[in-house]
Amino acid sequence: MKPLLQMTDLHGGYGDANILHGVNLHVAPAEIVVIVGPNGAGKSTAMKAIFGLLKIRGGSVTVGGVDITGWEPNRIVEAGVCYVPQVDNVFREMTVHENLEMGAFLRSGDLSAAYDRVYGLFPDLKERRKALAGNLSGGQRQMVAMGRALMLEPKILLLDEPTAGLSPKYMEQIFQISRDVRDTGVAILLVEQHAKQALAFADRGYVLASGCNRHEGTGADLLADRDVADMFLGG
Amino acid sequence: MGALEIINFYLVPGLVVGSIYALGAVGITLVFAILRYAHLAHGDLATLGAFLGLGLVTALGISPYLALTAVMALTAVVAVGIDRVFYDYLRERPKIVTVMASLGIALMVRAIVQMVWGVDSQTYTRGIVRPENWFGIRVRDRELITIVAMIVLVVALQLFLQRSKWGKAMRAMSDNPDLALLSGVDNGKVVTITWVIVGGLCAAAGLFLGLNFELKAMMGWSMLLPMFAAAILGGVGRVEGAVLGGLIVGVAEEMSTLFLPTEYKAATAFAILLLMLLVRPTGLLRGKVL
Ligand SMILES: Nc1ncnc2c1ncn2[C@@H]1O[C@H](COP(=O)(O)OP(=O)(O)O)[C@@H](O)[C@H]1O
Ligand SMILES: [Mg+2]
């Protein structure tokens, strides 16, 4: 299938230092793709590169065939890409509902269907819609962050370690919600520390190390790979 | 001294000057929270507003109250202009550069005021106004109007910040600028709206200062410290905090003359500022840490 998102031979980093040395990846419509790799491999950096949040020195990013390299973040959002950063991913001093409202900032008209959809995916949030996001538990905050990104009804959702620091119960819940979101036709690209569980749940995966592609394949293939297992599946 | 004397000679004047500080401090706190620098031209922008008011009052023969909205609009335009020409140009540089630039703007605005309106003290109206007596509490109309106008302006601002789309965008930009950009908020537009509001509030502060005291070129500059003290006291980024801080600093300044020679009045704000930074740097209402 024609890829929805394609990153081709991407080079770039922060300031003068290069972190990414030619990363290639693609995501098809309604596909769940996971990026795994050791700490500091450049996984978050690869996601930020899609949004032009670092200096890109070579390569390109396309969405639906349109080259979006170097675009302003608000235009990329309009192109249907929504991003949940690894940290600081909610407006702490705003209520849960206001966080969702900010997610829909670029939309006008009746948003009730979008709220219903997000509150349907995250019933916990509906109960706490008037609470300040900064006062929620880590798991609920992650749900606010995902909910905010979903309000724009993106074509692809980027999630950077959505389960970091969460209990297994929340992790399972986040994975389940990701599947539900995918079933509504949204593609998901996520970075995960919990490599074993993530590879088991994703359609395809990439292993990144030192800013380069190391392995790629279906989740099952990567789980079966000796080299990948030695790297971080804990032998 | 009885309670009525304390109210009439210290509390009422303190609340009046505190309301003026509050109007300035709200602007300072917004600039801190959204643009992330200390705006040192804040006082002189208030001076400009006061003198623009004088211009309208003398040219059209209208009362200063009628001139208020026009003066707020004019000063808002000036503030947006200053941002476009100077501050926006320095956006990518370290914030201290902008702070220094705002000091330069302060001197420039003051020089323009002196060139146009001269260096002598002036007033909007002549003659002595006797205070009205409300059950023993003596308040002049202009004092009452100052306090009420401050409350109306702050309530309107709060409604805007809490209810409107762009008000929420301003709060989002203050809360988490990166996430606001990732949500599609146009930073430039938020900056412009911020300066419209801040310019308008500056003008109101200047006009009410001129109305209750007199107009002179240094009037705004000399209330810069109390305004900053009020903003920090209330908690940076907190509009309600800035109001509370302004009223506290104003009343504390007046009350200080009960115990200290009047020359030390101006030092009160400084003492409050230092004490607050030592004891509770987040301010009374938990603002951002500077
Ligand atoms: N904002 C930044 N400025 C400079 N270097 C950074 C920044 N963020 C990350 N790095 C560096 O980039 C490398 C990759 O980081 P990152 O992409 O966050 O790794 P991962 O998400 O795979 O753990 C690391 O060496 C890290 O120190
Ligand atoms: Mg990371």
pLDDT tens digits, residue range B178-227? 999 999 899 999 999 999 999 999 999 999 999 999 999 999 999 999 99
Q: What is the ipTM of this complex?
A: 0.89
What is the average pLDDT score of chain B?
92
Q: Which of B29, B174, B175 to mutate to test the interface with A (most CBs of A within 10 A)?
A: B175
Q: Does residue A87 line the site of ligand 1, with CB under 6 A? A: no
Q: Does residue A40 line the site of ligand 1, with CB under 6 A? A: yes
Q: Does residue A39 line the site of ligand 1, with CB under 6 A? A: yes
Please tell me the predicted confidence (pLDDT) of residue A235.
40
Phi-psi region of B184 (alpha: psi -120 to 50; beta: other; left: phi over 0): left
DSSP assignments along chain B, one per residue: --HHHHIIIIIHHHHHHHHHHHHHHHHHHHIIIII-S--TTHHHHHHHHHHHHHHHHHHH---HHHHHHHHHHHHHHHHHHHIIIIIGGGTTS-HHHHHHHHHHHHHHHHHHHHHHH-SS-B-SS-SPPPPEEETTEEE-HHHHHHHHHHHHHHHHHHHHHHHSHHHHHHHHHHH-HHHHHHTT--HHHHHHHHHHHHHHHHHHHHHHHHHHS-B-TTTTGGGHHHHHHHHHHH-BT-HHHHHHHHHHHHHHHHHHHHHS-GGGHHHHHHHHHHHHHHH-TTTTTT-B--
The gap from C-alpha B101 to its chain's centroid, in whole angstroms, comes to 19
- Of the residues A18, A23, A45, which should be mutated to test ligand 1's pocket, given the most ligand atoms within 8 Å of the CB? A45
Residue A233: pLDDT over 60: no
Distance, CA of B187 to CA of B170 (rounded, Å): 9
- Mean pLDDT value across residues A23-33: 94
pLDDT tens digits, residue range B98-130? 999 999 999 999 999 999 999 899 999 887 788
Please tell me the predicted confidence (pLDDT) of residue A144.
95
- Mean pLDDT value across residues A90-106: 95
Q: Which is nearest to B206 in space by CA: B81, B14, B54?
A: B54
Name the amino acid, one letter, at A203.
D
- Indicate the range of A35-49, B5-19, B255-269 predicted with least confidence: B255-269
DSSP A106: T
pTM of the model: 0.91
- Mean pLDDT value across residues A178-195: 92
Delineate the domains of chain A, giving CATH numbers in brackets: 1-80+154-235 (3.40.50.300), 86-153 (no CATH)
Percent of chain B with pLDDT over 90: 73
**Which chain B residues are closer than 8 Å to A106 by Cβ?**
183-184
Measure Cα distances from B263 to B58, B209, B257 in Å.
34, 19, 9
**Which chain B residues are closer than 8 Å to A71 by Cβ?**
none
In chain B, where are the structural domains located? 14-121+132-217
